[in-house]
Amino acid sequence: MPSLRHEKLLLAPVAGVDEAGRGPLAGPVVAAAVILPAKGIPRGIDDSKKLPAKERERLAARLRGCAIVGVGIVEPDEIDRLNIYWATMKAMTLAVDALGIAPGHVLVDGNRSPRWNHACTPIVKGDSISLSIAAASIIAKTTRDAIMIAAADTWPAYNWHSNKGYGCAHHLRALREHGPTPLHRRSFAPVAQAELPLSMPHESFPPHH
């Protein structure tokens, strides 16, 4: 289970940063930054991938009520312009900026960190080690999931309420049959290879709001 071992050695306030959505074929990449409170940290915080969806939602609500939370979102068109690595770095930067206060130190999940002026320590598998990063992973994951579930109402053929934009068999089949939507990342190979059939009626692709 993640702990506060790293946080206790660093200049407060310490922000944990993690992202969700580097791998999907559709939807934004979302990063979150979380500064945990000195007291009253919710129990059960862990790497978001290890938690059931309902538990993630419960913990996300608790964290938003007791912690300082910032979220950064980079949309698919910008992912295509920047590439997914730099889009992720931008999302992390936006998330820390959205905290509203300057952290004394930032802990980032992974082995790289954005080019910023904050004192920073990348931690490989940090969402399993640092409680702050684990909290950020929960916020990032639940935020992105909500975006994709809402988008599934507009484009139901792709089953995003279930696959969240990842390239599962159902999603890939729908991509071949219907072509890409405005939420698809055209720089990703399976999307680039999918051609929109000329006979596809326009009403199959309602505008995205």
What is the predicted pLDDT for the residue at 195?
57
**What is residue 26's DSSP assignment?**
B
- Per-residue pLDDT reduced to its tens digit, 53-91: 999 999 999 999 999 999 999 999 999 999 999 999 999
Span 116-143, mean pLDDT?
A: 97
DSSP-based three-state secondary structure for 53: helix
- Inter-CA distances, 91 with 43, 86, 118, Å: 27, 9, 15
Statement: residue 208 has pLDDT above 90: no
Architecture of domain 7-151: 2-Layer Sandwich (3.30)
Span 108-114, mean pLDDT?
A: 96
- Per-residue pLDDT reduced to its tens digit, 82-103: 999 999 999 999 999 999 999 9
Residue spans of the domains in the chain: they are 7-151, 155-202
Summarize the annotated binding site for a divalent metal cation as residue ranges: 18-19, 109
Span 2-30, mean pLDDT?
A: 97
Enumerate the H helices of 20-83 as residue ranges: 53-66, 76-82
**Residue 52 CB neighbours (<10 A):** 8
Summarize the annotated binding site as residue ranges: 18-19, 109
CA-wise closest residue to 179 among 162, 199, 164, 149: 199
DSSP-based three-state secondary structure for 109: strand
Average pLDDT taken over every residue of the chain: 93
What is the predicted pLDDT for the residue at 194?
86
